[in-house]
Chains A and B, each alone.
Chain A
């Protein structure tokens, strides 16, 4: 049943203009970076900064819009012999999968026709993996918000604020903490703070992989110093998975008891 719902969801989403725009955005950008920079490793690290900002924003906004628009459709399907948990996974995967595919396709295609080196491919795949995780995480957060707040203006506003918080305000808070408590040893608190932000986690995961210390920033540097590369990656990955599980489960539980 999930498969059937998913099938029609995918048909719908793939035909929508914004998915096509989403693919083109990543495709054109990666291609341009290849033309300017040339080597695949540098393209991946440049793309990283774009991915870390664009993906959370796009996923959370599209996710919230999508679910608000599907509201009447969900009601209709629930009047057929469809179980709520089946419908939730159908709706969730129906948006998350096309977004992941669009992003991955857009980034990886230029690597394919530019015949990138094995090392560059590894970086690109790591980038795609991290971006995909962020996509799913932020779609899940968006779904939770859209299920929690019936007022779509409120929900969309909150989605934007959450996204801005993690991309911009959070770094500000970390800087502020460092500034205020500059006379104390701050490694551990900063470490904890960076675990609480999925975007930071994504950045750390990628930078540990790319091995570009110059771009690491404080949190990344502390992270590597504290855990070393291997353990650091394992911990950041585990935290990302936790970040994925919490909103998905929260949204799922809400979906089961919600009044439509």
Chain B
């Protein structure tokens, strides 16, 4: 789904990413881990096209990422810290994002998916969010069914999270008055709204209460079952263990190791991912230390 070849990025003298090679398979959850400043955000932002790498190539579903905006139709992104125009209400923000997507798909290529979303989206926007939120009862009901074919069969946007987070009570409040948790919820709704094929979640559950956090995790797993490729970062290892199929560990801009979660647990014999990663890091650090002493 995503291929990264020999990616390099320097900020001044700081080597944020150095020859990163990576392959992310479709339909799986990959967790990008690493200490602060290891290059996680730079890596994600490079794939999103926000950061322009110095060298190397990235392709998403066969489309090369270089200033091309069309591939972003299949991407959903939930940033660590979401900020929308402060004086717009939550409803207006959702409407705005729909509006922007709609015109982009209208002028862009006419793949079968675009044709599907086009007219349905239009009716959704015209009738405003309140009605769209009403029609979401249906999407909630449908949400339980195995819905791989739903993306194609059903063009309406995905407002399941909106419903489950109960954002209706917040819909007329300006964004500036929302609490951190509610901002995070709005941001999550927008990331899932268009049923993206690839989903980037940067610390998705930070700032969420336990109930909302588990709603979001359920949704993430449901999306995965639907065939969505998901890349997430998190500092909470139990969460990664619960969600991710594989982890990519970055250290000083390099991929330190890349392993499936199950494999890591088996190999180290540790009960939790946190311990397993600590053990793996210890082992790996010992080897280069010895080699360094010899030279």
Contacts and interface: CB of A to CB of B under 8 A. Distances in A.
B104 A81 contact: yes
A141 B129 CA distance: 38
A74 to B, nearest CB: 9
A4 B100 contact: yes
A12 B96 CA distance: 12
Nearest to B67: A84
Given A4-B99, A73-B84, A81 B51 contact: no
A8 B85 contact: yes
Contacts of B236: none
Contact of A76 (B52, B77, B92): B77
Contacts of A36: none
Interface residues of B, number: 37
B105 interface: yes
Interface string A54-96: 0000000000000001111101111111111000000000000
A9 B100 CA distance: 13
A81 B85 contact: no
A76 B174 CA distance: 18
A254 B100 CA distance: 23
Contacts of A15: 87, 174
Given A81-B69, A81-B73, A82-B100, A73 B83 contact: yes
Between A72, A79, A84, A257, the greatest number of chain B beta carbons within 10 A of the residue's beta carbon is seen for A79
A11 B104 CA distance: 21
A79 B86 CA distance: 19
A117 B225 CA distance: 73
Contact of A75 (B50, B72, B101): B50
Give the residue among A8, A16, A75, A81 with the most B Cβ atoms within 10 A: A81
16 contacts: A1-B107, A8-B99, A11-B85, A11-B88, A15-B87, A16-B87, A70-B85, A73-B85, A76-B82, A76-B84, A76-B190, A79-B200, A83-B69, A84-B69, A259-B45, A259-B50
Q: Give 8 nearest A-B pairs by CB, closest first.
A: A12-B85, A81-B104, A15-B87, A72-B83, A79-B77, A260-B50, A259-B51, A8-B96
Interface of B: 11, 45, 48-52, 67, 69-70, 72-73, 75, 77, 79, 81-88, 92, 96-97, 99-101, 103-105, 107-108, 174, 190, 200
Interface of A: 1, 4-5, 8-9, 11-13, 15-16, 69-73, 75-84, 257, 259-260
